Structure 1
Amino acid sequence: MRRLAILSFHGCPVARLGEKDTGGMNVYVLQLARELARQGTNVDVFTRYHDPNDPKVVQLEEGARVIHLKAGPIDAAKEDLFDFIPEFLGELYAFQRSEDTTYDLVHSHYWLSGRVGMTLSQKWDVPHVTTFHTLAKTKLRARVGEREPMRRVNVESLVMQNVDAIVVSTEEEKQDVVRLYDAVPRKVSVVPAGVDLDLFEPIEKPIAREALGIREKRVILYVGRIERLKGIEILLRSAALVEDIADTRVLIVGGHPENDTEQDRLRALTAELGLQDVVTFTGAVEQAELPNYYNAADAFVLPSHSESFGLAALEAMACGTPVVASRVGGLKTFIDSGETGYLVPWRCPEPFAQRLEILLANPELKNAMGTAARAKALKMGWGHTADRMLECYSGLSCDSWESVAGD
């Protein structure tokens, strides 16, 4: 049976979502590993310890597991992790020897893992596929003041030159890797991300709100990491412009309640705007709890400056909640503006407030968009993503990686 090594060096797929450095990529790795295992591939996901209580091995399901490896202090900052790659590799080799196993292909996620993948591909003489999820040069162009280390830019370029295949989520991302990094176009495959349709499905709104203790008439929701690139300030300022905001609850899901300078800044802005009785910063929540949040909401808002895909928006749509989002990146590929929500081309509060007011004031329109959003999401389950990924793997190997599920 084929055996795949997935590398997610800095982001553990079983870490709590919404905290610093955990988000859509973690979900992507987790769900891809599970779906590939269901289709007949043995999958080991290698990541660093993110919590001292982490078990060495976490069984996701039959044929898929997460292996935690030592790589620097658990609380090491992401910008320092590159220096711990040698330790990570040493731990991975030791684990491989203890299991007496080999791998047929390496799939790395994010630039740090890409550098690890280069070494493993050469040592094991197997193909290396990489998915960056975000790119330094794209982020630097998305928002004034955004900063990325030059080391990241250089490593991304190096990995693209040496890798066998680059998987991106959208045609726009493919254009970025070719135009900004001179990647070879034939190496780049477009494989859209998916959504867990079993977990994210419609629930009666009163039931979802009761579960969360929400009493307000209207609910506006954001889910994701708490960082400037996500544009949460735009959401707060747009909420302040919405009429009759007093009977509305704005939920900001994600982040850590302590030692988070960006969340502290947003809390201060909330008070400045007079929204302290309207806005709730929930902190990170378990993924199993997210369907209640998505279903409780009248609208999901994602005012990002840049999104390679925007998985949280697709999760909201799967729950039948219309989305108001920036017209950037992957969001443009699955949100049909005017049908499943709205795409806003400007990163300023007024147009977001206008779209929110339209949805909040028109229940029939909101429900129709929610129904259309669910229908769109039904076409984007993780099974489709895994099928496309296996096709990519097969193109690099003499042996087929096509699904053997049910054999």
Structure 2
Amino acid sequence: MRIVQLNPYYYPYKGGIERRLHEICRRLSKKHEMIVLTSQLKDTELEEEMDGYTIKRLPSKFYTNYNPPHVSTPGVLQALNDLEPDLVDFHYRWAPSYTKAMKSYGGKWVFTFHNTYGEGQGPMRYLSTMNDFFFCQMIRDKNVICVSDFVKNDLISRDFKEENLDVIPTGVDFVTDSGKDENFILFVGRLVKTKGLSTLIEAMKNVDCKLVIAGTGPEEELLRSMVGKYDLTDKVEFTGYVDEETKTRLMTTCSAFVMPSVFESLGLAAEEALAHCKPVIASRVGGLPEVVGNAGILIPPKEPQALSDAINAVMVDKELRDNLISNTKTQIQKYNWDNIVNDLEAVYLKNIENNSQS
């Protein structure tokens, strides 16, 4: 098979979608021709070979300083037609030039639904909901790959047919070395409202251990001001952006990982923490209960007292903590990359065969 993964962004930009595509392509390239079709980021080649698969980049224009920036890519439809793939897996629903191309594309394609429907807060949630409403009209009769049961069930509630929906989560590599516990809790991710970090800062008023926040984003200034307001500068450390090596060191040495999100379609950072044998304290929202299972503590979102109680319990109760750590090893097996890619290949083959018969 020749399979094209279509996404506006790709390496060297490394978000959750991009990492998923790399893991899928490098594994499936042993049996199939895998191509990533994307925009051309600065200082990248129009075509590149990577780990057995091909990256084809199209000249593009980028707007705003948002991460990732808004993009316009002419020529997506022509590139797809020239490639003549057996199947296209489309991954991103907020880039109009890509959506327009897929609306006109006559070949076989599926869509992977990575994020919660209508995700966001304030005006962004309104815009996101409007975009998703119209986009879902376009994919209603397509096979949709959902990254969690939560996403699948949410789409069923929006009148998608269950038989058109497959759940294929994003995986993670298991880490055998859990590292030396250095008695701090960790958050890694973008500093945006949907991550619930203001609740976490407020909860830290009643927590004795240190919190490390790794990442950048538009909420950083507000969060820093909250730390100053609550006199928590000795308890809360902002690292800013961290590279993979630093992130791994933080993951391997933290006592627990905290993810107090308001929205979360899956919870990839929580997966990574479990892969490092770390208990996870997370909001009971979206796909997080599926990811955490019995390897952590789930609390209601936006409740600082419940969050501080959970953090204190994990940090103080050694028996509880040891049980959670033991459970991580079983829980993370659900997200083994090789099993995930095998399931995805079966979905791709099913779509090609069904479309061939129709």
Q: TM-score, normalized by length of structure 2?
A: 0.88
For the structure 1 residues 333 and 265, does the alpha-carbon distance in structure 2 shift closer, same or farther, using more than 3 Å as the test? same
Task: Verify the 8 A CA contact 2:190 2:215 in the aligned structure 1.
Answer: yes
Change in 2 beyond 3 A, CA 1:267/1:379 = same
The residue aligned with 2:187 is: 222
Is the CA contact 1:70–1:91 (under 8 Å) kept in the aligned structure 2?
no
Residue 152 of structure 2, aligned match among 169, 174, 189: 174
Amino acid in structure 1 at the alignment position of 2:107: V
State the Cα distance separating 1:327 from its structure 2 match: 0.7
* Closer/same/farther in 2, CA of residues 57 and 364 from structure 1, 3 Å limit: farther
Matched residues in 1 for 2:77 and 2:351: separation? 27
Taking the aligned partners of 1:46 and 1:226, their CA distance within structure 2 comes to: 29
Please tell me whether the aligned partners of residues 34 and 61 of structure 1 are also in contact (alpha carbons under 8 angstroms).
yes
SS at match of 2:111: strand
Superposed displacement of residue 112, structure 1: 3.5
Could you tell me which runs of 5 or more consecutive residues in structure 2 were left unpaired when the two chains were aligned: none
Matched residue type, 1:4: I
Partner of 2:111: 130
Partner of 2:300: 345
Aligned pairs, number: 354
Instruction: Give me the whole-angstrom Cα distance separating, in 1, the residues matched to 2:123 and 2:302.
Output: 15
Look up the match of 1:374. Answer: 329
1:254 aligns with 2:215: yes
Q: What secondary structure does 1:261 align onto?
A: coil
Match of 1:193 among 170, 193, 205: 170
- CA change 1:80–1:27 in 2 (3 A) is closer
Task: Indicate how the Cα distance of structure 1 residues 68 and 226 shifts in structure 2: closer, same or farther if over 3 A, else same.
Answer: farther
| Structure 2 residue 260 is matched with structure 1 residue 303 | yes
1:202 aligns with 2:177: yes
- Partner of 1:396, secondary structure, is helix
1:343 deviates by 0.8
* 8 Å Cα contact 1:194-1:382 kept in structure 2: yes
Does 1:119 pair with 2:111? no
Cα distance in 1 between the residues matched to 2:335 and 2:218:
36
Alignment pair present for 1:107 and 2:94: no
The answer to whether the 8 Å contact 1:48/1:88 transfers is no
Do the aligned partners of residues 387 and 31 (structure 1) sit closer, same or farther apart at CA in structure 2, a change above 3 Å counting? same
Name which of structure 1's ranges 286-295 and 315-324 shifts more when overlaid on structure 2. 286-295
- How many Å separate the matches in 1 of 2:190 and 2:149? 24
Task: Tell me which of 203, 212, 220 is aligned to 1:238.
Answer: 203
Per-residue Cα deviation, 1:3-45 (whole angstroms, up to 9, x for no partner) = 1110111x324314xxxxx4x333222222223224x122111
Q: Is the 8 A contact 1:303 1:326 kept in 2?
A: yes
Aligned residue number for residue 6 of structure 1: 5
Q: Structure 1 residue 175: deviation in Å?
A: 2.1
1:89 paired residue among 64, 71, 76: 76
C-alpha contact (below 8 Å) 2:291/2:331 kept by paired residues: yes
Q: Is the 1:5–1:105 contact (alpha carbons within 8 Å) kept by the matching residues of 2?
A: yes
CA distance in 2, matches of 1:80, 1:280: 27
Structure 2 distance, partners of 1:113, 1:396, is 24
Q: What is the one-letter code of the residue matched to 2:327? A: A
Alignment check: 8 A CA contact 2:62 2:69 kept: no
Tell me what 1:72 maps to: 61
Q: Is the partner of 2:157 in helix, strand or coil?
A: helix
Query: Contact conserved, 2:93 with 2:99, CA < 8 A, in 1?
Result: no
Once residues 155 and 286 of structure 1 are traced to their aligned partners in structure 2, the CA distance between those partners, rounded to angstroms, is: 37
In the TM superposition, residue 388 of structure 1 has moved relative to its aligned partner by 1.3
Q: Which fold has the larger relative contact order, with Cα–Cα distance below 8 Å and residues 6 or more apart in sequence?
A: 1
The answer for unaligned runs of 5 or more in structure 1 is 17-21, 207-216, 401-407
Q: Deviations over 1:349-404 (max 9, x none)?
A: 1111111111111234323311211232134211111111111111111399xxxx
3-state secondary structure, aligned to 2:145? strand
Q: Mean Cα displacement is larger for which, 282-291 or 346-355? A: 282-291
Does residue 274 in structure 1 map to residue 231 in structure 2? yes
Contact between 1:309 and 1:329, CA under 8 Å: does it hold in 2? yes
> Which range moves more in the overlay, 362-371 or 347-356?
362-371
Equivalence for 1:57: 47
Q: Provide the C-alpha distance between the structure 2 equivalents of 1:397 and 1:118, rounded to a whole number of angstroms.
A: 22
Report the CA distance shift for 1:351/1:77 in structure 2 as closer, same or farther (over 3 A). closer
Q: 1:257-277 CA distances to partner (integer Å, 9 max, x unpaired)?
A: xxx531111111111121223
Matched residue SS, 2:94: helix
The alpha-carbon deviation at position 231 of structure 1 amounts to: 0.5
Deviation per CA, 1:98-138, whole angstroms, max 9, x where unpaired? xxx43110001121369736735854x4321101211443x
3-state secondary structure, aligned to 1:397 = helix
Q: Secondary structure at the match of 1:325?
A: strand
CA contact (8 A) 1:4 1:103 kept: yes
> Structure 1 pair 330/43, CA: closer, same or farther in 2 (3 Å)?
same
State the secondary structure of the residue aligned to 1:147.
helix
- The one-letter amino acid paired with 2:56 is I
CA 1:189–1:379 in 2, change beyond 3 Å: closer, same or farther? closer
CA contact (8 A) 1:322 1:341 kept: yes
Partner of 1:30: 22
User: How far apart in 1 are the matches of 2:65 and 2:231?
Assistant: 36
Q: Is the 8 A contact 1:114 1:130 kept in 2?
A: no
